Chain A
Amino acid sequence: EAQVTQNPRYLITVTGKKLTVTCSQNMNHEYMSWYRQDPGLGLRQIYYSMNVEVTDKGDVPEGYKVSRKEKRNFPLILESPSPNQTSLYFCASSLLAGADTQYFGPGTRLTVL
């Protein structure tokens, strides 16, 4: 089954404790990205990756890092999480950047205390 998977689905952590949210797709997609969803703000893009060689910042990259060492995986890293990073996070992928359909993962609910 073609899908985007994220882990964990739910995470409660404390300020300053490094964490990684994994994202993996099995569709051989080039383009991957991370979003956060907050009430009243909709979805905002954190980082995106055109392919394994190109990664760039989205609208809200502060406090996040990403890595694209292989095509299928695009982990999101929070080196020192803070409470304002409490949010619902979505990973997405598409065959190419542009007008291609984005396929979203099921989301990761992160709470930083």
Chain B
Amino acid sequence: GDSVTQMEGPVTLSEEAFLTINCTYTATGYPSLFWYVQYPGEGLQLLLKATKADDKGSNKGFEATYRKETTSFHLEKGSVQVSDSAVYFCALFHGESGAGSYQLTFGKGTKLSVIP
């Protein structure tokens, strides 16, 4: 079945450092890929997404490129801020006909702490 693997955290960075959170996936065909962010005490919200190979999603200074050849969707930000402290989830959607296949599959999440 489909799966998403993220780098394990927690990740602690100083303000203005470069961020990379690795995400690789296993799925047949061409899934859509997402990064969701969860701030403390809140639900998840979409950060960015890409729906086909070589697409780059971007938002709030974060970027991720859909790499079909390496089945990856790594999240990057050039200069993190304290306000970026949160848990980041990589996810994929792979819809096919048949029962149980219209599901969103999440990675386990990576906790990021940014210190001043």
Contacts and interface: CB of A to CB of B under 8 A. Distances in A.
Interface of A: 4, 31, 33, 35, 40-45, 48, 50, 56-59, 90, 92, 97-99, 101-107
Contacts, number: 61
Interface of B: 32, 36, 42-46, 49, 51, 89, 93, 95, 99-100, 102-109
B89 A42 contact: yes
B89 A43 contact: yes
A104 B38 CA distance: 10
The secondary structure that dominates the A interface is strand
Contact of A59 (B42, B44, B103, B107): B103
Contacts of B32: 98-99
B89 A56 contact: no
A103 B43 CA distance: 9
